[in-house]
Amino acid sequence: MSEDHRPELEIRVPVTVETAWRALRDKESVLQWHGWQAADLDAEVDQIFFANAVEDAENHVLVADGGDRITVTADGDGARITLTRAPLSGNTEWDAYYRDITEGWIAFLQQLRFVLVHGITTPRRTHFFGTERSRADEAAARLGLSEVADVPPGSPYEAEIAGERVHGRVWFRSDSQLGLSVDEWGNGLLVFGGGMAIVTTYGLDDAEFEALGERWRERWPSASDSPVH
């Protein structure tokens, strides 16, 4: 892959450049949008964003571990966050995951956008589910996501997803991912696609959170639910 064909991902957020930059440079902030809750999340964030990253704070540029470049620029009365993927490394074992890493960044940037747009300060709790990419359509059918198949981004929806009647708005769509805000999860967020689902909740009590995870486990093909800490 040449430099000219490196994937470039962008989000726009209605906050100042300084606020957007802080969401990338304050570890506790990063832990609220990067990935999902797991035993190794803290170490992963350290490695990617801090220990092995190169920061140009004056110009709001961060080169993360692995070479992905994140820039924050002013955009009208908000800010634009742009992530440019590193080129292929030439290591076939590592490059085999290039697409998966790009898809991960799409999901994580949308989670960042969600936090910044809504000004969320409540700690998140997440369930993560993964299966083979080839089973994504099966997972969507089992969950009931066909009800929102034709709803455009920004539009309201109501659907029965994983046995629960929920409503909210379509947060985003990409070539292979769908994001839904879910009011019943404390204005939470579902990111689904490519054989994975990240279920982000805010303010649910333990019983509600565990019941939600159980409903999803019952329907998810070869469910792999990450432990929550």
pLDDT in tens, 78-112: 999 999 999 998 889 888 999 999 999 999 999 99
Residue 223 scores a pLDDT above 60: no
Question: pLDDT tens for residues 7-21?
Answer: 999 999 999 999 999
pLDDT band per the 50, 70, 90 thresholds, residue 6 = confident
In the chain, domain spans: 3-118, 124-219
Q: What is the mean pLDDT of the chain?
A: 94
Span 136-173, pLDDT tens digits = 999 999 999 999 999 999 999 999 999 999 999 999 99
pLDDT at 202: 98
On whether the CB atoms of residues 84 and 72 are closer than 8 A, the answer is no
Are the beta carbons of 220 and 131 closer than 8 angstroms? yes
**10 Å Cβ neighbour count for 152?**
8
Q: Which pLDDT band holds residue 222 (cuts at 50, 70, 90)?
A: low
List, in sequence order, every beta strand (DSSP E) within the chain: 8-13, 54-56, 61-63, 69-75, 78-84, 124-130, 156-161, 164-173, 177-182, 188-193, 196-202
For the stretch 191-203, pLDDT in tens is 999 899 999 999 9
- Give yes or no for residue 69 having a pLDDT over 70: yes
| Residue 131, pLDDT score | 94
pLDDT digits (tens, 9 = 90+) for 38-64: 999 999 999 999 999 999 999 999 999
Percent of the chain with pLDDT over 90: 89
CATH architecture of 3-118: 2-Layer Sandwich (3.30)
3-class DSSP state of 99: helix
Q: Which of 115-119, 200-204, 212-216, 220-224 has the lowest mean pLDDT?
A: 220-224
CA-CA distance, 210 to 225, in Å (whole number)? Answer: 11
DSSP 45-72: HIIIIIIT-EEETTTTEEE-TTS-EEEE
Mean pLDDT of 207-214: 98
Q: What is the pLDDT of residue 228?
A: 45
Q: Which of 176, 179, 115 is nearest to 151 (CA)?
A: 179
Q: Where are the beta strands (DSSP E) in 43-186?
A: 54-56, 61-63, 69-75, 78-84, 124-130, 156-161, 164-173, 177-182
Site of tokens 């820039």: 71
